[in-house]
């Protein structure tokens, strides 16, 4: 019921299994989240594919990483919103959070800099 959490589980499972790629269903929010994960080198690359007649996203995983902690915070049944001053970094700054704001899907440090809050999607380290 939660497509974003399904994408995170697919990424984690394929990393642990040693696979070099994963395929998930397409959405604009997933593309924005993957762009942030690519900047932080969690994933190497991703692209839109249309092989089976449905839009999918093919994710190329980073082979140097054996695992990654991606935890979904805001869920469909329990949304979590934060103000810009209340945004915290997990593991004392070693990780980062992804937030959906009126300015788009951005990391917690970017949201603090521009002074916007929003829905806390996930934490990654």
pLDDT of 45-72, one tens digit each? 999 999 878 999 999 999 887 778 999 9
Residue 100's SS3 state is strand
61-102 per-position pLDDT tens digit? 998 877 789 999 999 999 999 999 999 999 888 899 999 999
What's the chain's length in residues?
Answer: 125
pLDDT single digits (tens) 12-39: 999 999 999 999 999 999 999 999 999 9
Residue 52: its pLDDT value, please?
75
Q: Does domain 70-124 have CATH number 3.20.20.140?
A: no
CA 122 to chain centre: 7
Residues spanned by CATH 3.30.1370.30 within the chain?
A: 3-61
CATH code at 3-61: 3.30.1370.30
* Cβ neighbours of 52 (radius 10 Å): 8
pTM above 0.85, yes or no: yes
């Amino acid at each position: 019921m939660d497509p974003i959490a399904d994408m995170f589980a697919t990424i984690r499972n394929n990393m642990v299994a040693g696979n070099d790629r994963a395929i998930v269903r397409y959405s604009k929010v997933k593309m924005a989240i993957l762009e942030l994960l690519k900047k932080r080198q969690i994933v190497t690359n991703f692209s839109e594919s249309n092989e089976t007649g449905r839009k999918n996203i093919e994710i190329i995983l980073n082979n140097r990483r054996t695992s990654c902690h991606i935890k979904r915070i805001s869920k469909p049944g329990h949304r979590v919103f934060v103000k810009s001053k209340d945004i915290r970094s997990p593991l004392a700054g070693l990780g980062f959070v992804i937030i959906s704001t009126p300015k788009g899907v951005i990391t917690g440090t970017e949201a603090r800099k521009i002074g916007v809050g929003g829905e806390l999607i996930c934490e990654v380290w």
